[in-house]
Amino acid sequence: MHKKLFIPGPTEVRKDIREAMNFPMFGHRMPETTQLMGEVADKLQKLLYTNNFIVISTSSATGLMEACSRNLIKNKGLHLTCGAFSDRWAKISKACNKDVDVVEYEWGKGTPASDIEEKIKTGKYDAVFVTHNETSTGVLNPLKDIGEMMKNYPDVLLAVDAVSSMAGTEIRVDDWNIDVVLASVQKCFALPPGLAIASVSDKAMEFSAEVEDKGFYFDFQAFKKYWDKAKQPPTTACLNLIAALNYQLDKIINQEGIENRVKRHKEMAEIVQNWTRENFDFFADQNYLSPTVTCIKNTKGISVASLNEELGKRGAVISNGYGKLKEQTFRIAHMGDITVDEIKWLLGEIDNIIS
């Protein structure tokens, strides 16, 4: 039996999306690619409320996290960490031989804009790296506040990992002053994995042009060069997935509507949050609860492994805690194309199993 995915990526992929990937191949230097990538970029600009350059990368999101580390730091970067994925970004910068300061918050806490401002004021940093939605802990950081604060520091770039929030929460790139925001498509976009996208501001592009030793595959300038020529990718891209993204963006923008999609994620989150309050407790600080994934503190000491085994027999799978939180927490993802009714069904099944 297929187990419906209530895990924070990959998420459940609808049949019509799978079918949108099934077409005769064309070449990445052919006009079909120009047409396809042009359409995708226009729609992503709409989704993100921006006019910024769109990077479409055949890689997972981690590739574009590395792109940010390589393109946006000349002297020094600042990482704010509050969980496994923000930790990973700091590690990536270090692995690229970049000089970074890392401000660590306890897992489960959010990163307030005022704290970031304290650090940025020092004038030491080229860029600050923020994780919008920390998937390991179920924390949503206050991106709008952070972006608005950054307006006072025009010489510092803001790079954002929105892997598990983009297409599930509102992100207003231009209003919020975000230089780079990146995501992969196997989370709230509800597509199969293998593709990542980002918007990159002119300021970030100009900065990147002056940075040396960026490597080859993830140089923003390479993406721009091929885009300016013919709206094509620098190397052979996962064109089937890009076509599926084009199809899904139509559904998101024209059928469901961006605002309705955000509303549905909020509604699903509230249902899971109410259930969590009644049955368990939150791992995350309740001021920062994520609208796309809830990390539940296992206060009843249930076996998450056996819960998942039982759920499997009923056709669903949830996620255990990430890394060091494995049995202490479990996570229910309410992201992508999962519906309110499916979330209610899942919680009913969990109730039956644990009662």
Ligand X SMILES: *Cc1c(COP(=O)(O)O)cnc(C)c1O
Residues that bind ligand X (CB under 6 A): 8-9, 60-62, 85, 131, 133, 135, 161, 163-164, 184
Least separation in angstroms between CB 29 and ligand X: 26
User: Which of residues 113 and 293 has its CB atom nearest to ligand X in the complex?
Assistant: 293
User: Which of residues 134 and 231 has its CB atom nearest to ligand X in the complex?
Assistant: 134
Least separation in angstroms between CB 56 and ligand X: 14
Least separation in angstroms between CB 54 and ligand X: 17
- Tokens for 171? 């992100």
Least separation in angstroms between CB 152 and ligand X: 26
Whether 221 contacts 209, CB under 8 Å: yes
Q: Which residue, among 148, 143, 150, 157, has the nearest Cα to 203 in the 3D structure?
A: 157
User: Which of residues 141 and 201 has its CB atom nearest to ligand X in the complex?
Assistant: 141
Query: According to DSSP H, which parts of the chain are helical?
Result: 15-19, 31-48, 61-72, 84-95, 113-120, 143-150, 202-209, 220-230, 239-250, 258-279, 304-313, 340-354
Least separation in angstroms between CB 323 and ligand X: 13
User: Which of residues 71 and 231 has its CB atom nearest to ligand X in the complex?
Assistant: 71
Q: Which residue, among 88, 136, 95, 134, has the nearest Cα to 111 in the 3D structure?
A: 134
User: Which of residues 11 and 231 has its CB atom nearest to ligand X in the complex?
Assistant: 11
Least separation in angstroms between CB 58 and ligand X: 12
Q: Which residue, among 347, 336, 348, has the nearest Cα to 167 in the 3D structure?
A: 336
* Helix axes of 143-150 and 113-120: crossing angle, nearest 10 degrees: 30
Whether 126 contacts 74, CB under 8 Å: yes
Q: What are the DSSP calls for 243-301, one per residue?
A: HHHHHHHHIIIIII-HHHHHHHHHHHHHHHHHHHHHHSEESS-GGGB-SSEEEEE-TT-
* Helix axes of 61-72 and 84-95: crossing angle, nearest 10 degrees: 50
User: Which of residues 9 and 291 has its CB atom nearest to ligand X in the complex?
Assistant: 9
User: Which of residues 89 and 125 has its CB atom nearest to ligand X in the complex?
Assistant: 89
Least separation in angstroms between CB 89 and ligand X: 8
75 CB neighbour count, 10 Å cutoff:
10
